[in-house]
Chain A
Amino acid sequence: MNKTLLYIALLIISIALPFVFPNYTISLTAMWLLIIVSLTWDMTGGQMGYNSLGNIFFYGTGMYVAAITGISMVYDVGQYTSAAGGGINNFTATQYFSGLGIGAVAAGIFCAISAVILGYLLFGLRGPYFAIGTLGVAIAAGELVSNWEWVGGGQGVSLPVYPGDLDEGKFFFYYLFCTLGIATFIFLKWLYSTRFGAAINAIRDDEEKAEAMGIHTLRYKLVTWSIAAFIVGLAGAFSGYQLIQFEPLETAYQTINLGIFMVVCVLLGGKGTLWGPVIGAILFHVLKEVTWTYFLGWQWVALGALIVVTVVYFQDGLMGWLKHVRPEWFGERVEQKPGSKPSSASQAEAAQ
């Protein structure tokens, strides 16, 4: 009952935020993006034990696939990109929204399929090798796209602006990300409660044991990563349309910014938990905005220090720490069998 109230309160806050702080709408949208990519990073990194540094690949790829799909529905892509926004970017409202909608779905599906293909190649790697392998994919993809003239090369892509009032556009994108974030949270809450969640936890705790017990480990790993890729692809698609202009290395395949931020958020909040990534993303976003505003010039030093402190002293994050000091909140308890005395066998074990 109390939990339901809490969820309703959070939902109301999420909806009301842009009305309460209209000047911060763009920043709040960025916070939702951070929540989404953190939640999905935790699917493989926290719940399954595969630390990917390449999830940003799906963000960038989603951005490009959605933009190119949206453009190709109206113009010839090569002509459009070579003009680089010079003149031919008149889109009607219908063209804009159908481009965004169909583009986002295409982006999600494309990313999910590429996750399966990449997964076949990369899931043979374990631990740090998987992290480096995935990072390599993201960096390589950024370099490849920046040399591909048809999609705008190093200059990137200019998309049409939101058809309508600019403030309305800010609200539109806030609620787009907000909806995706809430949907992702609800979906993951359900997913982790099924056998699927238990299976990927088993892979995290001991993959060899999981194999020896006959679990389809590769199947679980591929499905998990492709779900994460689908969601990140959608987020990338929305981001592209929100940013209007994006380029490959610093915006789309931004390995050193968002690509690392999502990992830090999860570590800060506590990996392998549902709330950890959310709390971590909010904390991190606030810290980031504060340092950017008040310590400009030192912001990277502050973030670097935060990463070092988290990784060295606070690896389990907030939720991990809470689990350690209050295990009973997470259901750890000793429970006697109803109406029975301890058997002689269990006495023998108790004596151990």
Chain B
Amino acid sequence: MSKPIIEVTGVSKSYGGVHANKDVSLKVADGGITGLIGPNGSGKTTLFNSIVGYHPIDCGSVKFQGKEISKLQVPQIARLGLLRTFQQTRIYGEMNCVENMLISIPHRKMSYKDMFKHNSKIDYEKADRLLDFVGLYEKRYLRAGSLSFGQQKLLEFAMALTNEPTVLMLDEPTAGINPTLINGLIDRLQLANSEFGITLFIIEHNMRVIMNMADHIYCLAHGEMLASGPPSEIQNDQRVIDAYLGAH
């Protein structure tokens, strides 16, 4: 395993009496594709939220590029280059696709002066290019809220790419998308990883997708880390099978 870019050590998070995450530790390798699986309610999204600073964690540490980020707020972490997409797709519904893309350009070094600038020609070209990359070029002047669910997911993915993240955390990118489109999405995710060099960390229920894409997989169950390893190992792990079939 190469140098980890995200290092989660001993993170716990509970809501009242419910322990959503118990002493979870994992590492996301720089430049790779890491998967996170587990039955419904096993704490995958909670862990994502803990990493991106959506809520304070009870204990433990989250490091991004060797820097402790567990005390930072969501926009600050996003500006470091650690970006997430949502399980329930979130786009800016009243704006068209191009505007959605333009507002997603990195805000890392944006000063007060930059806030009042017009978008440059380069920004527009980039928006068009990435919309073309996800196959939404024809629809780019339509209201984002009028697109279908699957197209909104693609738009959200394109917006994430516009932001030029170092790591992209995707929460169920293929949920609710038809099988034909899933193949296209997998291709684009792999391209984003290989061509743009974006490290991917993916929550996924579709085993075919995640087993084909990821080079390392973590499995959560009941808020605890159940197993981890390469896909072939995870697929044959009796504990993982039991957790999914409910024997756990």
Q: Given the known inter-chain contacts A349-B151, A352-B178, please indicate yes or no for A211 contacting B74, CB distance below 8 A.
A: yes
Q: Is A289 an interface residue (CB 8 A)?
A: no
Which residue of the partner chain, among B90, B114, B137, B141, contacts A195 with CB atoms under 8 Å? Answer: B114
Q: How far is the CA of A210 from the CA of B95 in the complex (A)?
A: 13
Contact present for A214 and B106 (CB under 8 Å):
yes
**Is A348 a contact of B102 with CB atoms below 8 Å?**
no
> Known interface pairs A195-B118, A205-B92, A348-B180. Does A333 touch B141 (Cβ–Cβ under 8 Å)?
yes
A209 and B96: CB pair below 8 A? no
Tell whether A205 pairs with B86 under 8 Å between CB atoms, given A195-B117, A352-B151.
Answer: no
- 1/0 per residue B65-92: CB within 8 Å of A? 0000000001100110001101000111
Which parts of A150-189 form the interface with B (CB within 8 Å)? none
Q: Are B91 and A216 in contact (CB under 8 A)?
A: no
Q: Pick out which of these stretches binds chain B: A22-30, A32-40, A255-263, A335-343.
A: A335-343
A215 CA to B103 CA, complexed, in Å:
9
B94 x A349 contact (CB < 8 A): no
Q: Is the CB of A202 within 8 A of B95?
A: yes
Binding stretch for chain A, among B56-64, B142-150, B225-233: B142-150
Q: Are A206 and B116 in contact, CB atoms less than 8 angstroms apart?
A: no
Interface residues of A in 308-352 (CB under 8 A from B): 327, 331-337, 342-343, 345-346, 348-349, 351-352
CB of B150 within 8 A of CB of A352, answer yes
**A195-B103, A343-B135 given; A349·B141 CB < 8 A:** no
- Report if A217 contacts B (CB, 8 A): yes
Partner of B107 from A215, A327, A345, A352 at Cβ < 8 Å: A215
CB contacts (< 8 Å) of A349 on chain B: these are 135-136, 150-151, 154, 181, 184
Q: Complex Cα distance A204/B142, Å? A: 18
On chain A, the number of residues with a Cβ less than 8 Å from chain B's Cβ atoms is 42
Within A199-249, the residues touching B (CB, 8 Å) are: 199, 201-202, 204-206, 208-217, 219-220, 223
Closest A residue to B92 by CB, please name it: A205
**B52 within 8 Å of A (CB atoms):** yes
Q: Are B151 and A334 in contact (CB under 8 A)?
A: no
**Complex interface: chain B residues within 8 A of A209 (CB):** 86, 90-92
- Report the bound CA distance from A348 to B116 in whole Å: 39
Closest to B76 in A: A214
Mark out the residues of chain B between 125 and 164 whose CB falls within 8 Å of any chain A CB in the assembled complex: 132, 135-143, 148, 150-151, 154, 159, 163
- Give the number of A-B contacts (CB < 8 Å): 134
Q: With the chains together, A206 CA to B141 CA distance in Å?
A: 19
Query: Closest Cβ of chain A: how far from B45's Cβ, in Å?
Result: 13
A352 to B149, CA, bound (A): 10
User: Which of B103, B136, B181 is A198 in contact with, Cβ under 8 Å?
Assistant: B103
Do B137 and A337 touch (CB < 8 A)?
yes
> Which A residues lie within 8 Å of B183 (CB)?
348
Q: Do A212 and B94 touch (CB < 8 A)?
A: no
B75 touches A334 (CB 8 A): no
User: What is the CB-to-nearest-CB distance from B82 to chain A, in angstroms, rounded to a whole number?
Assistant: 9
A301 CB to closest chain B CB, in angstroms? Answer: 34
A337, B78: Cβ atoms closer than 8 Å: no
Q: Would you call B151 and A213 a contact (CB within 8 A)? A: no
Smallest CB gap from B139: residue in A:
A334
Q: Is the CB of B180 within 8 A of A351?
A: yes
Nearest 6 interchain pairs by C-beta: A214-B78, A205-B92, A209-B90, A346-B135, A214-B79, A345-B135
Q: What are 28 sample pairs from A and B whose C-beta atoms fall under 8 A apart?
A: A195-B117, A198-B99, A198-B102, A198-B103, A198-B119, A201-B99, A202-B103, A205-B95, A206-B93, A209-B90, A209-B92, A210-B103, A211-B75, A211-B78, A212-B74, A213-B78, A213-B83, A214-B108, A219-B112, A220-B115, A337-B137, A342-B138, A348-B135, A348-B183, A348-B184, A349-B151, A352-B148, A352-B150
| Chain A interface (Cβ < 8 Å from any Cβ of B) | 191, 193-196, 198-199, 201-202, 204-206, 208-217, 219-220, 223, 272, 327, 331-337, 342-343, 345-346, 348-349, 351-352
Task: Other than A211-B78, A216-B110, A346-B136, give 19 A-B pairs with Cβ distance below 8 A.
Answer: A191-B116, A194-B116, A201-B92, A201-B103, A202-B92, A205-B92, A206-B91, A209-B92, A212-B90, A213-B159, A216-B107, A219-B112, A333-B141, A334-B139, A335-B138, A345-B135, A348-B180, A348-B184, A349-B136
